[in-house]
Chain A
Amino acid sequence: MEFLAFLVRRLLWSLLVLFGLSVVIFTIARVVPGDPARMALGPRASVEQVADLQSSLGLNKPLTQQYVLFIGGLARGDLGRSLLTEQSVNDDIRETFPATLELVLTTIFIAFLFGVPLGVAAARWKDKWPDNLVRAIAIVAAVMPTFFIALLLQVLAGYVLQILPTTGRLPSGTAFNANITGLLLIDGTLKGRFDVVFEAARHLLLPATALALATMGQIARITRASMIDVSRQDYIEAARAFGIPTWVRLFKYQLRPAFVPPLTILGLEFASLIGGAFVVELIFSCPGMAAYGIRAITQKDLNAIMGVVMISGVFFVLVNLIIDLLVGIVDPRIRIRGRRA
């Protein structure tokens, strides 16, 4: 019952954030710039053309009414038409989003795969060389601009060693079009095309690693701190006294409660992860939402810009919702208290 109440409260909170998001985005797109129609058509368009576009976009109505139209569209899941591709923004995003999603999920996987053990090692050998090494890695990873890491990896693995592909999602000319989830790793597995899965993974490795480094460093640091925190608790002392082997104690008893802070951090860091995905996709010519978004931005395609920012925000809210649920599963005490520690 408690958990249900927690869920409901959490959902309402998410709706509130989404509402706030829509207001912010609407403000940027409709209130700030003056005349979006003029902006979209450029200075050479005639007055009639501008007036036409204004009425077809509903720009000649009062602002409150425009907002109602905008949020009504959002509620129906309709983001309007893109002026650039001349199809609906929904379709554009549906085409480009899976690539971004796959990149971000792989990134999170890599960040946890390496970040958590590094953090555990640093806590296990606190103030010894592994701790210092992890600290150094975390700091360097945090201050490397994502685009710089991406370029370095591209040069190193792509040009110098020539072991990994540096552009796209698949080798050009690969015939594969499953359109189930749009995630090549999953679609390939479902269709039994393991060559596609292999190639997709090869293509993902560099961009995802470039994007993962900073997050991995953060996760390692937070895991270290929370492992040390938990190690001071009585039940860990008891486990030590019972002579439970160190690694069992660390990974079975200590890591579970210590896993909550890194999860929570992931939620907060998620927005900058999406931002970083934009840069990485561009460098590795990955046909994701970034390429679409940046084109929309340079062409002042307002509906597309609003769509991309809104989807990024929705994605963030969703991920945080999932993380809150995961946190409840990892640490039942939080589920009962009904809030994050």
Chain B
Amino acid sequence: MSEVQALSNSYQNWYRFSRNPTAVIGLVIVVLCVLAAIFAPHITPYPDHVGAVVDFRNRHQPPSAAHWFGTDNVGRDIFTRVIFGFRVSLSLAFVVLIIAVPLGTLMGLLAGYFGGWTEIIIMRLTDVALALPPLIMALAVAAVLEPSLMNAMLAIASLWWTWHTRLIYSIVRQIRAQEYIEAAETLGASKVHILLREILPNCASAIAVKTSLDAGFVILIGASLSFLGLGIQPPTPDLGTMVATGASFLPDYWWESLLPGTAILFVALGFNLLGDGLRDLFDVEDVR
């Protein structure tokens, strides 16, 4: 493919992407959340409320111009804490996916291309992993090790890669019988070359879609874990923990749990819409 063609292709892709409203909305939400998380100390009205600030005169204040999302049970600004909470959510998704996606892809490539015992062992492993509820697994591992969110997320990553393996495996199985693979084999290309240069590029769009959808789901699981009390240690803001704390003041002080909850929904929605849009763009119907 020539340079000009590649350029016009990426331009075409961008054009089609920008015509897809769900994808654009998703991208905007994701970018907004990431930027907000990065620049949290500069854009939030009360950056010191991230810590163990106590201001009892201002506790349980409803949403107002001064406190957009109201204040919590010790008088801290909830909007500030929600923005900082994005940091935890996004870094969790990042940690899980940076482990699960490459590992899952590699395993899928190996199982799909080599077949035989490699395939049997890897695919039976994924069957086992599927049978374990990620949330319960994370709870159990966190209980056995130090009860920290990071350990719980590592436990989730140790299960999550299998979804990518199954996806890549099914794609590779379709591709490997095609003539250009046979041609490369006949020409004496190394296995590494075939896997990484001939097969992997054909999986790229599916990986992108799945990773985007996954980011949303991992954020949801992370939030559930902190809701159950496995969150980041206070006073660091964590959206799931905020919902749990606020829930004991329902329904009178509804903003203390429902607004952080909506924030979780917002960031998960962003990744989901983006993944959906990418799926339409790349035309990979069966990736979920």
Residues of A at the B interface (CB closer than 8 Å) are 13, 16-17, 20-21, 24, 28-29, 32-33, 39, 139-140, 142-148, 151-152, 154-155, 159-160, 225, 268, 271-272, 274-276, 278-279, 282-283, 293-294, 296-298, 300, 302, 305, 308-309, 312-313, 316-317
* Docked-complex contact A225 and B261, CB < 8 angstroms: no
- B98, chain A: closest CB distance, angstroms: 22
Asked if B194 is an interface residue, CB under 8 A from chain A, the answer is no
Q: Kindly list 9 other residue pairs between chains A and B, CB separation below 8 angstroms, not including A145-B240, A151-B261, A297-B140.
A: A16-B127, A145-B224, A151-B257, A279-B135, A283-B247, A297-B143, A308-B140, A316-B131, A316-B133
Asked if B103 is an interface residue, CB under 8 A from chain A, the answer is no
* Docked-complex contact A317 and B243, CB < 8 angstroms: no
* Docked-complex contact B250 and A159, CB < 8 angstroms: yes
Q: A20-B125, A143-B272, A297-B140 are in contact. Are A272 and B135 (CB under 8 A)?
A: yes
* Docked-complex contact B269 and A272, CB < 8 angstroms: no
- B228-262, CB < 8 A from A: 228-229, 240, 243-244, 247, 250-251, 254, 257-258, 261-262
Q: A143-B269, A147-B224 are in contact. Are A275 and B250 (CB under 8 A)?
A: no
Secondary structure at the B interface, as helix, strand, loop or mixed, is: helix
* Docked-complex contact B265 and A148, CB < 8 angstroms: yes
- B41, chain A: closest CB distance, angstroms: 26
Interface size range on B against A = 35 or more
Identify the closest chain B residue to A267 (Cβ): B130
Identify the closest chain B residue to A225 (Cβ): B285
Asked if B175 is an interface residue, CB under 8 A from chain A, the answer is no
Q: A147-B224, A151-B258 are in contact. Are A271 and B247 (CB under 8 A)?
A: no
Q: Could you list 24 examples of A-B contacts with CB < 8 Å?
A: A13-B127, A17-B127, A20-B127, A28-B144, A139-B269, A142-B272, A145-B227, A145-B261, A147-B224, A147-B240, A152-B258, A159-B250, A159-B251, A271-B132, A271-B134, A274-B133, A275-B134, A275-B135, A278-B136, A282-B228, A293-B136, A294-B228, A297-B140, A312-B133
Identify the closest chain A residue to B272 (Cβ): A143
* Docked-complex contact B250 and A146, CB < 8 angstroms: no
Distance A8 CA – B150 CA, assembled complex (angstroms): 41
Which of A143, A148, A305 touches B140 (beta carbons < 8 Å)? Answer: A305
The residues of A that contact B135 with a CB separation of less than 8 Å are 272, 275-276, 278-279
The residues of B that contact A151 with a CB separation of less than 8 Å are 243, 247, 250, 257-258, 261
Identify the closest chain A residue to B269 (Cβ): A143
Nearest 7 CB-CB pairs, A to B? A275-B135, A20-B128, A275-B133, A297-B143, A143-B268, A148-B261, A271-B133
Identify the closest chain B residue to A144 (Cβ): B265
Distance A32 CA – B135 CA, assembled complex (angstroms): 19
The residues of A that contact B276 with a CB separation of less than 8 Å are 139
Which of A29, A145, A309 touches B136 (beta carbons < 8 Å)? Answer: A309
Which of B131, B137, B139, B141 touches A294 (beta carbons < 8 Å)? Answer: B139
Secondary structure at the A interface, as helix, strand, loop or mixed, is: helix
* Docked-complex contact A313 and B132, CB < 8 angstroms: yes
The residues of A that contact B251 with a CB separation of less than 8 Å are 155, 159-160
Distance A5 CA – B272 CA, assembled complex (angstroms): 41
* Docked-complex contact B247 and A21, CB < 8 angstroms: no
* Docked-complex contact A297 and B139, CB < 8 angstroms: yes
Residues of B at the A interface (CB closer than 8 Å) are 124-125, 127-128, 130-137, 139-145, 216, 220-221, 223-224, 227-229, 240, 243-244, 247, 250-251, 254, 257-258, 261-262, 264-265, 268-269, 272-273, 276, 285
* Docked-complex contact B136 and A274, CB < 8 angstroms: yes
Distance A104 CA – B125 CA, assembled complex (angstroms): 26
Q: A28-B140, A148-B265 are in contact. Are A309 and B243 (CB under 8 A)?
A: no
Distance A146 CA – B227 CA, assembled complex (angstroms): 11
The residues of A that contact B132 with a CB separation of less than 8 Å are 21, 24, 271, 309, 312-313, 316
The residues of A that contact B228 with a CB separation of less than 8 Å are 278-279, 282, 294
Q: A143-B265, A145-B264 are in contact. Are A155 and B250 (CB under 8 A)?
A: yes
Which of A140, A297, A313 neighbours the largest number of chain B CB atoms within 10 Å of its CB?
Answer: A297
Distance A312 CA – B269 CA, assembled complex (angstroms): 29
The residues of A that contact B262 with a CB separation of less than 8 Å are 148
The residues of B that contact A21 with a CB separation of less than 8 Å are 128, 131-132
* Docked-complex contact A305 and B265, CB < 8 angstroms: no
* Docked-complex contact A33 and B144, CB < 8 angstroms: yes
Distance A26 CA – B41 CA, assembled complex (angstroms): 45
Which of B136, B140, B224, B273 touches A146 (beta carbons < 8 Å)? Answer: B224
Distance A159 CA – B257 CA, assembled complex (angstroms): 15
Distance A333 CA – B223 CA, assembled complex (angstroms): 43
- B173, chain A: closest CB distance, angstroms: 14
- A159, chain B: closest CB distance, angstroms: 4
* Docked-complex contact A148 and B264, CB < 8 angstroms: yes
